[in-house]
């Protein structure tokens, strides 16, 4: 037997600890702690289906000081009690939401106004809210009992009764605990009543549900190899890799298309009615096709998924559109600004986008002069790109004046002053690296006075300007340019450049920028209606990344994606999540089912259209053709009949709902065939692995398990599973491809998949 001394024993022990540490880190267990937040428990009155509730103004805050009541008058302030949770430092009332449903099936959200801990053997909190609809969409609820619940970090409590004015009425109690309606396992689709969300039976192996959810948020679609990689290295390590990943992919460089004259020359034939006449010059120059094809190829196959996803999100804030942008190269340069700054500083993005020729053309800054000022960019820079219309608290909620009205961030006079700063900038058509005779330079940044050399040609406003005044603002006034400005174009250019920098700083340090930008990015990546607490946590990182830097988007994106409101194997609050916008819907399915060309022999050419069927357009989101500067949809869109923010639902109509099903039908049962110039190789999805599972297990169980994991991160409901199994097993056992296609189609068109949760 080998004999070792105490020192050797200690060394061996330490070595084993190191090996264990490295092993755990590689498996993601130390890097990413348990992502699941507990389910909040709404305390009920003893031996009752009613919530334990008291008037909120009953005195001491440390304990319950009055008997529970069954009913409250409309508008009353009420305290209910929540347990089973663990709060982070600083987490308070704005992390919670209170929802109710009346006997007519109408749903309400009641404003939460306070939270405090009470004396109790286990951590218990009094949650104070007001009994009125938060947005006021509906009239007063029907008198009688409501079913009340509390949500926190995307997790919901069960529902309990509370009387609105009086008790009683026709409302029925939930037959299944409400918090379990959205919690299922892969154990034949049965509700996971006895399983913790972190147990392996929940979704195949530990925390796979959270990893698949994460990839839906941080990429253009989860794939099994990516999930396996995150299982090995953890979410934070993967994020660090993504922040440094080369972009775009080496095999998918940005299209390098020469600039062309505004009028298509004779050698760029756009006559598409003559058989066999090539039209690639017109297609590749005067349409957005090259950018669309490049974009989708990068979404399908690119490794730098996070940068690509964030750039797409930023492009829906800093909008320009092929509706008004003539050449694809013009918009390619705009997209480069987005992608280059996706993990950079928001202040840099503001400047580079302000001087981007595509933006200058789209919002008319290149046509704004001291004698003919144009306010388009000056207005949208504030309204849509940085601070919004109204003053915000740091958690994104509106600041209100003494009359309860929102406080404007600026007025028309403010727009006029900013417009003055932005006069005199134009394309650099002479003396810049990409200047060339006969074409407008949409590659190099726009410049002040566009190379003019005499004071008399000055187009920049030289008068004084007043900027935004807010607590902590420094430069709020720009003095008039006098003296040397009368006889020196260089002085004018220096004055204009300095004025621009002061103006951008004035906006950038406005307190609204953090919550305004943070909330929109959360909406694009994670959930349409984030709690103010979530917005506030991300805003704090925008304001200071921990090293004193404001506007660090790398830190902001990390904060969004690792926040406890984003993470977890499943979210049980049905109001959590976002409708998959059409572009994301298409790419999610494409990446799940190994997108290829129509023949299945190589990569797709990217696009989702043929000369007779544009799947993007029918779903109301043609990539890079936003209908207006307000994007495809507003971040403030409230779903009609609800109190929920749901921006992407602005695209959901009867027609587009059918178009979504038609997309699934085309790509599941058919393909986009190659059709010449516009669709060189076509697009198809591959179902070989699903077909193999259908052949291996004739009951359909393995097939449904795989689709549950791949598409729904283990959250498929029992009802959905049983319905799809019935449809699948109705087909002959020998028709394995048809069985696979039937199952994929039904999952892809389901509400459970259409909503990214």
Over the stretch 159-214, which tens digit does the pLDDT of each residue have? 999 999 999 999 999 988 999 876 543 333 333 333 333 333 333 445 689 999 99
Tokens representing 676?
């010449």
pLDDT, mean of residues 638-648: 91
Phi, psi of 560 (to 5 degrees): -60, -45
For position 253, what pLDDT does the model report?
97
pLDDT in tens, 308-324: 999 999 999 999 999 99
CB under 8 A, 24+ apart: contacts of 395-402? 395/94, 395/515, 395/532, 395/533, 395/535, 395/536, 395/539, 396/515, 396/516, 396/518, 396/519, 396/530, 396/532, 396/535, 396/536, 396/539, 397/94, 397/532
Find how far residue 461's CA is from the centre of its chain: 39
pLDDT, mean of residues 336-347: 98
pLDDT, mean of residues 275-283: 66
Residues 6+ apart with CB under 8 A from 421: 378, 461, 465, 478, 496, 499, 500, 503
Name the β-bridge partners of 80.
Answer: 53, 127
pLDDT category at 410 given cuts 50, 70, 90 is very high
Sign of the alpha-carbon torsion through 80, 86, 91, 97:
negative
Residue 674 has pLDDT above 70, yes or no: yes
Least confident among 430-434, 677-681, 696-700? 677-681
Among 623, 626, 613, 625, smallest CA distance to 663 is for: 613
Rounded CA-CA distance 268/284 in Å is: 10
Question: What is the CATH T-level fold of the domain 41-180, as seen in this structure?
Answer: Immunoglobulin-like (2.60.40)
For position 572, what pLDDT does the model report?
95
Sign of the alpha-carbon torsion through 4, 5, 6, 7:
negative
Tokens representing 323?
């509706």
Rounded CA-CA distance 549/440 in Å is: 37
Residue 68 has pLDDT above 70, yes or no: yes
The terminus-to-terminus CA distance of the chain in angstroms comes to 58
Residue 91 has pLDDT above 70, yes or no: yes
Phi, psi of 126 (to 5 degrees): -85, 125
Compute CA distances 182 → 159, 199, 675, 712, whole Å: 14, 16, 43, 11
Residue 599 has pLDDT above 70, yes or no: yes
Rounded CA-CA distance 719/658 in Å is: 23
pLDDT category at 645 given cuts 50, 70, 90 is very high
Tokens representing 37?
């937040």
Q: What is the pLDDT of the chain when averaged over all its residues?
A: 89
| Side-chain half-sphere CA neighbours of 341 within 13 A | 20
For a pLDDT cut of 70, what percent of the chain falls above it? 87
For position 533, what pLDDT does the model report?
98
For position 58, what pLDDT does the model report?
56
pLDDT category at 280 given cuts 50, 70, 90 is confident
Compute CA distances 70 → 40, 112, 144, 145, whole Å: 21, 19, 10, 9
């Amino acid at each position: 037997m080998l004999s070792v001394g105490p020192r050797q024993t200690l060394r061996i022990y330490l070595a084993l600890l190191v090996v264990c540490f490295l092993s755990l880190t590689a498996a993601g267990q130390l890097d990413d702690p348990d992502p699941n937040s507990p389910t909040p428990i709404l305390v009920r009155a003893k031996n009752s289906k009613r919530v334990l509730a008291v008037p909120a103004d009953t005195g001491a805050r440390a304990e319950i000081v009055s008997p529970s009541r069954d009913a409250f008058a409309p508008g009353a302030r009420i305290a209910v009690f929540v347990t089973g949770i663990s709060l982070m430092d600083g987490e308070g009332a704005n992390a919670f939401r209170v929802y109710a449903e009346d006997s007519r099936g109408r749903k309400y959200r009641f404003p939460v106004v306070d939270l405090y801990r009470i004396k109790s053997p286990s951590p218990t909190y009094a949650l104070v809210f007001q009994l009125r609809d938060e947005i006021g969409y509906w009239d007063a609820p029907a008198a009688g009992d409501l079913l009340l619940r509390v949500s926190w970090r995307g997790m919901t409590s069960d529902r309990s009764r509370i009387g609105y004015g009086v008790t009683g009425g026709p409302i029925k109690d939930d037959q299944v605990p409400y918090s379990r309606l959205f919690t299922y396992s892969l154990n034949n689709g049965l509700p996971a009543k006895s399983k913790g969300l972190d147990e392996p039976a929940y979704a195949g192996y530990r925390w796979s549900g959270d990893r698949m959810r994460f990839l839906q948020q941080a990429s253009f679609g989860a794939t099994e190899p990516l999930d396996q990689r995150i299982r090995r290295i953890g979410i934070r390590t993967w994020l660090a890799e993504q922040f440094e990943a080369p972009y775009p992919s080496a095999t998918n460089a940005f299209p390098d298309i020469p600039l062309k004259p505004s009028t298509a020359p004779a050698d760029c034939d756009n006559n598409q009615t003559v058989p066999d006449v090539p039209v690639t010059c017109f297609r590749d120059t005067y349409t957005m096709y090259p950018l669309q094809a490049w974009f989708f190829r990068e979404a399908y196959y690119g490794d730098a998924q996070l940068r690509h996803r964030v750039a797409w999100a930023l492009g829906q804030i800093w909008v320009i559109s092929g509706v008004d942008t003539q050449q694809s190269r013009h918009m390619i340069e705009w997209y480069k600004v987005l992608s280059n700054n996706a993990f950079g500083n928001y202040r840099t993005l503001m400047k580079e986008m302000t001087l981007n020729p595509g933006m200058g053309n789209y919002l008319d800054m290149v046509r704004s002069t001291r004698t003919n000022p144009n306010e388009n960019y000056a207005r949208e820079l504030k309204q849509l790109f940085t601070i919004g219309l109204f003053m915000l608290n740091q958690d994104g909620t509106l600041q209100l004046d003494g009359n309860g009205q929102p406080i404007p961030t600026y007025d028309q006079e403010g727009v006029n002053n900013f417009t003055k700063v932005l006069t005199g900038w134009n394309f650099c058509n002479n003396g810049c690296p990409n200047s060339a005779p006969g074409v407008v330079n949409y590659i190099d940044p726009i410049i002040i006075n566009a190379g003019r050399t005499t004071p008399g040609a000055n187009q920049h406003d030289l008068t004084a300007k007043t900027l935004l005044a807010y607590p902590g603002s420094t430069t709020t006034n720009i003095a008039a340019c006098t003296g040397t400005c009368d006889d020196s174009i260089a002085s004018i250019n220096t004055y204009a450049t300095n004025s621009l920098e002061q103006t951008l700083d004035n906006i950038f340090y406005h307190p609204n920028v953090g919550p305004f930008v943070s909330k929109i990015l959360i909406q694009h990546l994670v959930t349409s209606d984030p709690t103010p607490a979530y917005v506030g946590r991300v805003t704090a990182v925008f304001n200071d990344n921990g090293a004193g830097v404001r506007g660090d988007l790398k830190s902001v994106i990390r904060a969004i994606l690792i926040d406890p409101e984003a993470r977890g194997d499943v979210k049980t609050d049905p109001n959590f999540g976002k409708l998959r916008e059409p572009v994301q819907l298409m790419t999610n399915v494409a990446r799940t089912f190994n997108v290829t060309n129509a023949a299945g022999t190589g990569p797709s050419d990217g696009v989702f259209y043929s000369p007779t069927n544009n799947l993007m357009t029918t779903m109301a989101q043609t990539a890079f053709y936003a209908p207006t500067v307000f994007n495809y949809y507003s971040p403030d869109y409230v779903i009609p009949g609800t109190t929920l923010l749901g921006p992407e639902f602005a695209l959901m109509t009867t027609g587009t709902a059918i178009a979504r099903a038609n997309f699934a039908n085309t790509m599941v049962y058919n393909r986009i065939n190659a059709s010449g110039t516009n669709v060189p190789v076509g697009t198809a999805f591959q179902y070989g692995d699903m077909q193999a599972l259908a052949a291996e297990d004739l009951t359909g169980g393995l097939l449904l398990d795989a689709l549950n994991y791949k598409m729904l991160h283990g959250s498929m409901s029992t009802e959905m599973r049983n319905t799809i199994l019935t449809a699948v097993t109705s087909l002959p056992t020998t028709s394995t491809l048809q069985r696979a296609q039937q199952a994929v189609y039904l999952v892809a068109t389901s509400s459970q998949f259409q909503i990214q949760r």
